[in-house]
Structure 1
Amino acid sequence: MRRLSAHERALWARVAASVKPLPGKRAPEMPVAAIAVPAAPAAPKAKPPSRPAPTSALAKPAVPPPKVAKPHPLGAPLDGTWDRQISRGRLFPDRVIDLHGHTVVDAHATLSSAILANDGTRVILVVTGKGRPDRPARIRAELMHWLERPDLRSQVASLRAAHPRHGGGGAFYIILRRAK
């Protein structure tokens, strides 16, 4: 057996102060410093039947916080048809933009011109690359920031990770809004 540390004694004192003894019983007078905790349990004991925990003024009922729907980062979410097509590998892009080997500035200009072209394209596959631990993918890191800009955000309906056949973690589908 070992003695309780100062932190453990203070914690025990707070717990003991919050507990009321059963009716007809009184709390045992035990000095806090003399309480010892076994170093390792000898054998598992039978679990007593569960009873509801006593409520006290300090204990508050655990109420989960209400779930608040997060707004989709790029406009309203798409219907399930899009996600099913993507997950099954049946979504085929209208245009493919491979940004490997581009500078960040050149990649941004290429992507912006493709999105703003208004040529009837609905799905653009953007291949950014996954990066490596020694050389992170800077274009991939900047992609979300570019799409959040006001000039491009109004054109983009959604951004989704690409299916493995189209590049997986190193590529994205940009789904454009329908032209009005």
Structure 2
Amino acid sequence: MRRLSAHERALWARVAASVKPLPGREMPKLPAAPAPVATAEPPPAAKTPPSPSRRPPAAPAAKAKAPHPLGATLDGSWDRQIARGRLAPDRVVDLHGHTLATAHGVLASAILAGDGARVILVITGKGRPDRPARIRDELMHWLDRPDLRPHVASLRGAHPRHGGGGAFYIILRRGK
């Protein structure tokens, strides 16, 4: 069990002072502050380098990468419509019963149709423990491919009215 820091102890004291114990109960005592432990530091020259197992992990190098378009933030009106279940899809693509190859082809043709549809509801299914949702798992990879990525503005989970966890809204970019 770890000990409370000075800040946490002060915070707990404020909280404990603001409550009234139940009838017949006593106010719990605040744990005693740990006594400062005096340690003798060896001189700086005598310090040994930390063993390899105790070295902190190196921080990963930050990559200057453009934000992923599928996680792009839409303006608030889109998110409000989705949350309230008021978003009306222009096209529904049901991928139940398809193989991975045919599902990818159906999805790509729906996105590349160019008929002015802005919102596509893609129903992938949730899967079951004995039958995982492979199409659902592959959806992000398919949308991230170079042939489809320029057409997709965002991907959002569907409202329960449209399938919830087994369906997604693909918001397409406006035609130029």
- TM bucket (normalised to shorter chain) is 0.5 to 0.7
Matches within 5 A, 1:7-26: none
Name stretches of at least 5 consecutive residues in structure 2 with no aligned partner. 1-27, 45-58
Aligned match of 2:31: 47
Equivalent residue pairs, number:
129
TM-score norm. by structure 2 comes to 0.64
Matches within 5 A, 1:26-175: 46-48=30-32, 71-74=67-70, 76-175=72-171
RMSD of Structure 2 on Structure 1 (CA)? 3.2
Q: Percent identity?
A: 74
1:74 counterpart SS class: helix
TM-score norm. by structure 1 comes to 0.63
Structure showing greater Rg: 1
Residues 50 and 84 of structure 1, relative CA distance in 2, 3 Å threshold: farther
CA distance in 2, matches of 1:174, 1:103: 20
Residues 135 and 79 of structure 1, relative CA distance in 2, 3 Å threshold: same
**Contact 2:69 2:153 (8 Å CA) reproduced:** no
**Contact 2:92 2:120 (8 Å CA) reproduced:** yes
1:93 counterpart SS class: coil
CA distance in 2, matches of 1:53, 1:85: 58
Residues 173 and 53 of structure 1, relative CA distance in 2, 3 Å threshold: farther
After TM superposition, the structure 1 stretch with the greater mean CA deviation from structure 2, 44-53 or 71-80, is 44-53
2:88 counterpart SS class: coil
